[in-house]
Structure 1
Amino acid sequence: MDREINLLEYLPGVLREVKEFKVLSAAENHETIKLWEELENVLDDQFVNESTLNGVKRWESILGIKALDTDLLSDRKFRILSRLNEQLPYTYKNLDAQLALLCGANGYKLILDNSAYALTVKVALTAKKKFTEVGNLLDRVVPCNIVITLLLMYNQHKTLKQFSHAHLHQYTQKELREEVLN
């Protein structure tokens, strides 16, 4: 926000005409504007969506989150928000909601086998960047007596059959298996 500050206006009328006070006020105007900007940043840093880089670093420190070198500021804010949105008790319904928030509605499959105490979570290729974060979430919220299997939903024949052989020939086997194809 551009703030107009003129400290000269705060001086008594007699002093406004003194050359030294004019120069001093002009010099201090710039510093006062910078101070206001920093105060606004401090206020913004209290809210994750409005945070500056400094605020995001502080939130990560508080929550014990390690940022990746490849993360954008928006990715880091998203990770903070997902951590803040975790709620007790950890039920299947809450876990499903957390995964939907993290990966998107169609970005995962959640399979619970109550008799075997096993939970399988498959992350779609479209949400592949969130794979590690999903693993961290599961480690935090799933009870210790449940075996967790976390998988990536690779491309299958039914996905690939819509493309011509010439189009698929442009990709390596690994790309065909693990990348979202256009």
Structure 2
Amino acid sequence: MLKVQEIRELIKLVDQSAIDEFTYESDGTSVSMKKSNGQVVTSNAPKHVEAVEQSAEPAKPAEPGVKVEQKTESAPAESSAPENTTDFDYEIVSPMVGTFYAKPNPESDAYVKPGSQVETDTVVCIVEAMKLFNEIEAETSGEITEILAEDGELVEYGQPLFRVKTN
């Protein structure tokens, strides 16, 4: 079965390519992606069908067991890093559509708060999509200056979640 990170990478590659439809099959697992209005919609179907919707992330070059249909239009590439400002240098954005959780469980403290120092592998939140809880890492090092999403809020793909002043 494919890992969430592998699916994310596939979505990113599809989004950045001219491919409108993509299917990947491996070890009884099938992942199908189709662009719809500039967004990549993903379906992950092992023996039981489980759909995962994610807006525009990208796909992988053809490999054995990969079927690729190429169409003419492609989605415009989106920039996840904003222009430099005085408050922050980088925005951590949601890699998928889902529910934002600032802490691992209701009794715990939040992963980060304004002023928290983060490294590239620091978990900053969880985004739940289709009963899968995906830990989101900072992917940069620095200080959290602002949290842009509320706990339990529905977030979209590419929606800024945190602002970071990088080191």
Question: Quick one: higher RCO (CA 8 Å, sep 6+), 1 or 2?
Answer: 2
The TM-score normalised by the length of structure 1 is 0.22
Bigger share in strand:
2
Q: Over alpha carbons, which structure has the higher Rg?
A: 1
Bigger share in helix:
1
